[in-house]
Amino acid sequence: MRISEMNWMMVEEYLRRDDRALLPLGSTEQHAYLSLSVDSILSERVALEAAEPLGVPVFPVLAYGLTPYFRAFPGTVSLRAETYLRVVRDLLDGIAGHGFKRILVVNGHGGNDPARALAGEWMADHPGVIVKFHNWWNAPRTWAQVQATDPVASHASWMENFPWTRLADVVMPQHQKAPSDMARLRQLHPQALKAYLQDGNYGGFYQRADAELLAIWAAGVAETRALLEEPWG
């Protein structure tokens, strides 16, 4: 259930019987022909679908993250690392301060990985509170499903092209884009990276059958829900 659909009295009542919560992390960055909010849309949705049968509240997604390499693509917004980590720390402080003792951070953007280290540091300073940091898209079972579908999968390719991340009236290219040179692109300035990537896809087909994507989605939701149900600490 969404925190945005609860009032403070409902949260107080929930905390009398449970102390779990989810915090989705996303970003606002280029995803080729897909929405600039892909990472936020997916992390929040997988968190909501995983938590819904359990009645665990989901806080609003943090829709901005660390994506300085894409700053040359219009619409991309990147926070400074210092700013981002301060925001994540403040969010954890606020959530735990009300009595949530088991917090599942559902991350949808690889560039946000510094938040994983922060979560470990924060937890060491807050005995009695457990934080699980979960990259939903490349967790073992979900990633295995991606690889079984098509091993050429990457940023802004078919693996992020869900019915809820594509845009109306945008026609997807039909070819398979050659994989990008990852070692090279990591060294490029944002303008040079934009020129190298062109449309922003790192490599692979732009779209596959929805049935294949929904199988991956089901794996991602189940794997995320398992983290809520399994023992903590």
Is 58 in a helix, a strand, or coil? strand
pLDDT tens-digit map of 96-135? 999 999 999 999 999 999 999 999 999 999 999 999 999 9
Per DSSP, 3 falls in state G
Is 189 in a helix, a strand, or coil? coil
User: Given 3-state DSSP classes, what are the helix, strand and coil percentages for the chain, each rounded to the nearest 5?
Assistant: 45, 15, 40
Contact (CB, 8 A) for 107 and 135: yes
Quickly state the pLDDT bin for 35 (edges 50, 70, 90).
Answer: very high
Sign of CA dihedral 151, 156, 158, 163: positive
Contact (CB, 8 A) for 25 and 106: yes
Q: What is the pLDDT of residue 83?
A: 98
- Contacts of 74 by beta carbon, 8 Å cutoff, 6+ apart: none
pLDDT tens-digit map of 195-204? 999 999 999 9
Q: What is the mean pLDDT of residues 5-20?
A: 98
We report the CATH number of the domain holding residue 208 as 3.40.50.10310
Quickly state the pLDDT bin for 3 (edges 50, 70, 90).
Answer: very high
Q: Is the pLDDT of residue 224 over 90?
A: yes
Domain of residue 207 covers 3-229
**Total domains present in the chain:** 1
Quickly state the pLDDT bin for 229 (edges 50, 70, 90).
Answer: very high
Query: Model's pTM, two decimal places?
Result: 0.96
Please return the burial class of 217, using the count of CB atoms within 10 Å of its CB with bins 0-12, 13-18 and 19+.
buried
Report the percent of the chain where pLDDT is more than 70: 100
User: HSE (CB half, 13 Å, CA atoms) of 27?
Assistant: 26
Report the b/e string of 140-176 with b at 16+ CB within 10 A: eebbebbeebeebbbbbbbbbbbeebbeeeeebeeee
Quickly state the pLDDT bin for 1 (edges 50, 70, 90).
Answer: confident
Q: What is the pLDDT of residue 24?
A: 98
CA–CA distance, 9 with 208 (Å, rounded to integer): 45
Q: What is the pLDDT of residue 173?
A: 96
CA–CA distance, 232 with 180 (Å, rounded to integer): 39
What's the 3-state SS for 72-120?
Answer: CCCCCEECCHHHHHHHHHHHHHHHHHCCCCEEEEEECCHHHCHHHHHHH
pLDDT tens-digit map of 51-109? 999 999 999 999 999 999 999 999 999 999 999 999 999 999 999 999 999 999 999 99
Q: Is the pLDDT of residue 233 over 90?
A: no
Q: What is the pLDDT of residue 215?
A: 98
Q: What is the pLDDT of residue 146?
A: 97
Greatest pairwise CA separation for the chain in angstroms: 54
Q: What is the pLDDT of residue 206?
A: 98
Quickly state the pLDDT bin for 154 (edges 50, 70, 90).
Answer: very high
